Structure 1
Amino acid sequence: MIQHMNLVFQAEGLSVGEGAFLMACCNHTDAKGYVIAHMQQIADEAHMSLRSARDQRARLEKRRLLKSGERFSPKNGAQLANLFRINLDLLASMKRKRTDYGPSLVEELTFDEGPAENPSSNPPAKSAAPPSTPPADLAPPLADLAPPPANLAGAGAAKSAPLLLPSSDPSSLPPRAGAAPAADASLRTAPVGERENEASPEGHNPSEAEVPQQRERSSKSAAAAGGRVVAAYAATLGRPVLNGTRAKLERQAVELLAQGLPEAWLCDRARELAARGWADLVQHAERSTAPIEQPREVPGAGRPGLPEWCGECGDGTGTAARLNPRFRKVGPEDARELCPRCHPNRVAAATA
């Protein structure tokens, strides 16, 4: 309690350690001076070690200013927080005598005697200068300041035209001077969706709304096939595939499937990849010499829109080069170039 702390401040004959210990105890006292606290807590609040706190407690007990007792749990015998009691009557009797510490700082403050300064005698502050005329480039145009023509309001109407709410549509802004008028006002005010409907009055969609659905089904099918390729990799690996490796293999599998490589062939390459402890399906597919079987493909005919394979590039990859332009390269391993006879990019550049 603050009253008990005040008794410690006014007490005479206490050492620094005794005063600090009593102050920490008075932080938890009740009206009769009882304290329930651990010795370590009292030591921390008194800013001293546990050993020093025990020494100060012994000195205060010897002076009959403090009495303590240990407490134990009746259930398991564990030690509980200590019980202290401060001798408030003895502590109050130790109050030091009133001491005159001399004049205080407030009593020594004086003011020079002299005529008081009249606030009203101060010259009035200069009034703020009126704002100067804004520059010509910042002033509003005269057309905006001029009142509307009288013929806009009609006979007997108000002097000013009705206030129009601003519109976020840039087409609703007034035309600039010299600009050509719009061809049709309805096209200027109609929303975007209505303009599209006007362009196709029968509601016919040129894309037939089937291309996005087809693309969605194709992407889902490719993702499912890529998942099966990764499943073949995980089955051979014999343990779960890490998320980063799984995402990389699925992305590579979808890319290779999009280039025309069959799913069964990629599954076999994925199994080989796992057996060797590798994790790059694209690189393994490029270097693989395993034949690619395409029973539904007509021999000699590549993918639609793909130039026919010349049969000389690809370093013996065979069907892979016929179906995938990625393999249509010539030259040594460290300086390979696109085949000038059958690679789509070189053929298109030659015919352009």
Structure 2
Amino acid sequence: MIQHMNMVFQADGLSVGEGAFLLACCNHTDDRGYVIASMQQLADEAHMKERTARDNKQRLIKRGLLAAAERYHPKTGARIADLYRVNLDLLGRMKRKRTDYGPTVIEELTFAAPEETAGQTPRQIPPPPPADSAAPPADSAAPPADSAGGVPAESAPLLLPSPTPSSLSGPGRPSGDGSEAGRERESEAAPVDKRQAPAEGQQQPEVEVERVVAAYAAAAGRPVINGTRVRLRSAAAELLAAGLPAGWLADRAAEMPSRGWTDLERHVERSTVPIPSQQSAEKPSNGLPSWCGACGDGNPAAQHNRRFRTLTGLPGGELCPDCHPEHVSTDA
């Protein structure tokens, strides 16, 4: 707790090692001074070896500033993190007397304006006039007196306050996407989707893409953050362009939040749920030849997506010689 760490800083009579170990303990205290931490953790936070940390712990226990007890798992009997308690009352009575350390604030720090710019001849500076006739420099002029009591006014702040709040969640700041206040945001910009968008003529209606995203959000029970929304929309558009039904895709998207997944394409690749039968035709609407049914390792996605028409069923594998469009168009 920060208040207890501040008490250590103000305490008098502690050695360097005792103060460092006590600070590490106070980093984990509750309002009564109890600490649950292992010796190795406290030694690391105190920047000392474990043996040195144990020596400082014993010195603090002898001084009455610390109490310690070993803890064991109630079922297995294994050693777990020890229990400590900092004597906050005694630590508070060790507060050093108030000390005047002298002035620590100056009125203002200033910088001289540059005398020349790049590419120009340096300006010749005349020698200073005699001390008795020279006017006082602008920087050393006395600040204007306050009109009420004649007290010099405080120096102007070096940085002007921003007209807009700096907090992302502050009132009045637009969310950027028109959503209501309190909507989940990302601290970083949404990642740029580098996958190739579907070719012209295969773009799916916006309502079908949003249907897939909405199914994911409904299953998650919360608004979809910007980065996840970008990835879902891009994957949904590509899979819809490949001929997969929007309803089937929405059902697959609804399965993802409970498993902690956000990659719709990979989930669709691994899904074993059968795809509803499409209108029978010699070639699907996406221009692919009829699926031979033997390639793709039984993945139904191969019926509508050329990437899965391989002998291994994985994108990048050896192309199926019977139904992959590259082989069929070559043999035709």
**TM-score, structure 2 length as denominator?**
0.39
Max radius of gyration: which structure? 1
Higher helix share: 1
**TM-score, structure 1 length as denominator?**
0.37
